[in-house]
């Protein structure tokens, strides 16, 4: 593959970057599918993370944050679904530490090099005998089954691999995540993992992750709820043997573009796989006073239950979008707002255009619905992603534990 510039960044078949291993197994936390796994790097990797802002931050999330913050370095992450190990008090903290130590002992590395991630039911003790058994079964393979082992109510794995050239070396960056409900970052009920064989310092990686998450994962919403366990962790082991990436260089810019492609794709995958969702919704705001306000308005629209229900019902009731805009504190030209859905203009100068309802209903049957809004208040923009609100969402969450 010949790639020499940012323009030649390519999405390829899912694969693990150089020097990374992964595996999954069925430990019995869930009835009939793999529910535990790990990622391992041959050498300690520079690492970065972002974490839920929920005040009831789960024990695994807190422990991983503490571990990464010591030196921005990890060599492995062990993870499970089926149990969140959240709201379990001191026992939860103890169990998270034990899970970290078990994985470290199995890999013959220091516990300070191991991150922990859990997802599932809140408030139930972690069954440590099953955790121990699961860790004992994990191997150093290139198993893609790990991408399924972390799923809860998701309908499918969410994965991507992007390749680019920096410093004459091919760089592979791979991401996978889970997330379907309880999605309203900062952060969401999601776990996200990105591995890359690029060489980049931990502090630079942390800055890149934090800023990119603000434009991607933190701009999705499914149901307005924020979970206790969410995190995104990135590991960069330098196995591609490029010169360490530094901000301000062309190679850094290329890598940033590839990295953003990974996170953007995963964010959209989560939004489109919202619990019970039938449509992916993208909102693009133009004419905003500032980028922050553009982002706020986009997220307010995509997060409005009235808008979500409107889209599910395939009803061109553009008043739902106007009320969502008006609920924000953003600058708005009250007589100059425009709204379009899939290219059909419903509102011009804050007044309905009289477009035929049947035409709007027809376009709302598409699997992806794009809402474009112009606030006519500046030159900034914003984008957010979400989904419609369906009867299935209530059904799933009314019986989540059964």
User: Binding site for substrate, residues?
Assistant: 152, 178, 189, 275, 397, 402
Q: Do β-strands 73-80 and 114-118 pair in parallel, antiparallel, or remain unpaired? A: parallel
* 189 catalytic per annotation: yes
Annotated binding site: 152, 178, 189, 275, 397, 402
Q: Half-sphere exposure (CA, 13 Å, Cβ side) for 28? A: 11
The token duo for 299 is 């997220």
Give the active site residue among 52, 159, 173, 189.
189
Rounded to whole angstroms, how far apart are CA atoms 386 and 78? 29
What burial class does residue 111 get, using C-beta atoms within 10 Å of its C-beta: 0-12 exposed, 13-18 middle, 19+ buried? middle
Token match 């990622």: residue?
A: 39
β-bridge partners, 162: 11, 173
**Contacting residues for 126 by C-beta, under 8 A, at least 6 apart:** 83, 85, 88, 92, 95, 96, 99, 118
Asked if 204 and 212 touch (Cβ cutoff 8 Å), the reply is no
User: What are the Cα distances from residue 51, in Å, to 56, 76, 155, 269, 310?
Assistant: 12, 18, 24, 19, 32
Residues with catalytic roles: 189
């Amino acid at each position: 593959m010949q790639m020499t510039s940012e323009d030649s960044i390519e999405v390829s078949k899912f694969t693990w970057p150089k020097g990374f291993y992964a595996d999954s197994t069925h430990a019995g936390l869930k009835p009939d599918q793999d529910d535990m796994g790990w990622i391992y790097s041959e050498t300690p990797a520079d690492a970065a993370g972002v974490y839920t802002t929920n005040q009831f931050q789960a024990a695994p999330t807190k422990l991983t944050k503490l571990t990464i913050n010591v030196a921005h370095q990890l060599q492995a992450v062990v993870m499970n679904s089926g149990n969140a190990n959240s709201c379990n008090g001191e026992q939860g903290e103890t169990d998270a530490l034990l899970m970290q130590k078990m994985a470290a002992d199995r890999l013959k590395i220091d516990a300070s090099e191991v991150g922990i991630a859990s997802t599932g039911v809140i408030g139930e003790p972690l069954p440590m005998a099953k955790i121990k058994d699961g860790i004992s079964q994990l191997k150093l393979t290139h198993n893609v089954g790990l991408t399924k082992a972390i799923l809860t109510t998701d309908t499918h794995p969410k994965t991507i691999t992007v390749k680019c050239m920096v410093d004459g070396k091919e760089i592979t960056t791979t991401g996978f995540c889970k997330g379907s409900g309880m999605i309203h970052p900062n952060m969401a009920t999601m776990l996200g993992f990105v591995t890359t064989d690029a060489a980049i310092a931990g502090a630079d990686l942390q800055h890149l992750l934090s800023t990119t998450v603000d434009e991607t994962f933190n701009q999705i919403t499914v149901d307005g709820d924020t979970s206790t366990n969410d995190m995104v962790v990135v590991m960069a082991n330098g196995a591609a043997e490029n010169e360490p990436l530094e901000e301000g260089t062309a190679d850094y810019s290329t890598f940033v573009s590839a990295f953003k492609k990974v996170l953007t794709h995963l964010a959209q995958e989560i939004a489109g796989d919202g619990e019970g969702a039938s449509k992916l919704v993208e909102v693009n705001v133009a004419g905003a006073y500032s980028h922050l306000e553009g982002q706020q308005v986009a997220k307010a629209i995509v997060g409005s239950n009235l808008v979500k229900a409107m889209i599910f019902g395939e009803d061109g009731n553009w008043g739902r979008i106007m009320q969502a805009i008006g609920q924000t504190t953003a600058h708005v030209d009250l007589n100059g707002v425009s709204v379009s859905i899939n290219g059909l203009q419903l509102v011009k100068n804050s007044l309905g255009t009289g477009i035929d309802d049947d035409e709007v209903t027809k376009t709302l049957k598409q699997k992806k619905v794009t809402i474009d809004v112009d606030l006519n208040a500046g030159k900034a923009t914003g984008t957010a992603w979400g989904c419609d609100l369906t009867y299935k969402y209530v059904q799933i969450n009314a019986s989540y534990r059964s």
